[in-house]
Structure 1
Amino acid sequence: MLLADDEAMIRAGVRSILARAPEMEVVAEAEDGYEAVELARRHQPDVALLDIQMPRLDGLSAAARVSHDRPETGVIMLTTFGEDEFIARALQEGASGFLLKADDPRELLNGVRAVAAGGAYLSPNVAARVITRLRQAGRTSSGAWSRHSVEQLTERERDVLARLGAGLSNAEIGARLHLVEGTVKAHVSAILSKLGLRNRVEAAIAAYEAGIIRRD
């Protein structure tokens, strides 16, 4: 994992949380966005955890470059309560996860695991803020509309969407629903097409709006 934040204390705190999970390793740390992009190219991490506001190059611009240079690297944006206005742009730049610095440490571990496995992850706290912000921008609907929209999906597609919202990867969804990974991928493509969504993060938002999140 690549960890980028201009505050040394934040980096130390995140590093100590990640140390609880033996399968996670921080291979590089950056103090600004330019350094984060360079280290991502050099180390090719599975996950890049980026602070939104950093010197020289902000986290959103860094996310765009990392996603362009290495699409295999899942990008998680680390935000504060005062940065809601950046959420829509972060979606456009290819972020796969959103976490608040005030979140429970378990959310950090859950988010990294989900994104590393190819999923998308919104912590419960940030999910509500993402939905509110996108509604204000006219980019998403009311919860009632989403529930109505989800009704156009098949039962199996709704099952897949419910687990997409929980941050599960295609392989994990397949294991839960006893489907091969290729079939899950086809369902995900159908969901995005039917609901007019661009990526797994927007699918997760739709699942949150519709109230159908499931982790089992």
Structure 2
Amino acid sequence: MAAALKPLQSLNKLLQIKQLVRSHAVLTCVYPQLFAIQWVAEHSGMESPNPRLFSDSFEKAKLLLSQHDQPFLVITTERLIDGSRLDLIRHAKGQPHPHRCLLVLTHNHHLSIPQTLAAGADALVLEDSINRQSGALIHGLQALVTGQTYLDPALEACHLQTSPETIEALSARQLEILQLVAAGLSNREIAERLHLAPTTARDHVQAILKRLQVKTRGAAAVAGVRLGLVR
């Protein structure tokens, strides 16, 4: 019975994805080829008049986007064939009509959460979650089309165990500093931005980590997004 249900569940997820992206232009930029993403992208908008573009490099993706004067849903892997990582997301976010971006990370990814947030990724999904059909891809696409931010729960589990009920409230200054931490700034850069002594910025960051019950700056950024403290 379970074996029979699995194809049905896969079909239901595909129908959900198809409905989500039906009225949107989509650019899928993956390398190496992720069969789950590629297959979904190729089948999700067959009845849609909106563009369905595919690429494996930043330069080709940039060219494709330049040929269309409309916002896209951009689904991209962390590394492309020309070696670029977050270049596509930065480019997409720098356009007059910014594109919404979903970044697929491998289980052994080398990007930090602050890096991806600073680049402008709207949704982060682990490749393993797509392969397991956990629903993370659907939730990520839902975030793109509704203007929200999404972090794969599997990714969150790698960084923190914080719940809203257990954290101490952050001060206005700490919220401001958390925003800069999530943007990838160092303690020294935060100090310069806010006209603080470097030691003061360091102490604030340490206090933030303690209150969010995390050990790293990346985990603090994840917690900030998940708890709605970081834009």
With normalisation by structure 2, the TM-score equals: 0.55
Map of 2:92 onto structure 1: 66
Cα distance, 1:37 vs. partner? 2.1
Equivalent AA in structure 1 for residue 64 of structure 2: L
- Match for residue 149 of structure 1 among 162, 169, 175: 169
- Match for residue 57 of structure 2 among 22, 27, 32: 32
Equivalent AA in structure 2 for residue 77 of structure 1: L
**Alignment RMSD (CA, Å):** 3.8
- Match for residue 205 of structure 1 among 223, 228, 231: 223
Map of 1:79 onto structure 2: 105
In 2, distance between residues paired with 1:16 and 1:117? 22
- What do residues 182-210 of structure 1 show as CA deviations (whole Å, max 9, x unaligned)? xxxxxxxxxx956742589x8863264x6
Secondary structure of the 2:67 match is helix
Is contact 2:27-2:53 (8 Å) kept?
yes
Cα separation, partners in 2 of 1:25 and 1:106, compared to 1, 3 Å? farther
Map of 1:119 onto structure 2: 148
With normalisation by structure 1, the TM-score equals: 0.58
Cα distance, 1:75 vs. partner? 1.2
State the percentage of identical aligned residues: 14
Cα separation, partners in 2 of 1:149 and 1:36, compared to 1, 3 Å? farther
- What do residues 54-98 of structure 1 show as CA deviations (whole Å, max 9, x unaligned)? 121423111111111255311111111100434332121111110
In 2, distance between residues paired with 1:57 and 1:26? 25
Map of 2:203 onto structure 1: none
Unaligned runs of 5+ in 2: 1-25, 184-219
Report how many aligned residue pairs link the two structures: 160
Is contact 1:79-1:98 (8 Å) kept?
yes
Is contact 2:125-2:136 (8 Å) kept?
yes
In 1, distance between residues paired with 2:76 and 2:167? 32
Map of 1:168 onto structure 2: none
Map of 2:125 onto structure 1: 99
Cα separation, partners in 2 of 1:107 and 1:9, compared to 1, 3 Å? closer
Unaligned runs of 5+ in 1: 133-141, 154-191
- Greater Rg, structure 1 or structure 2? 2
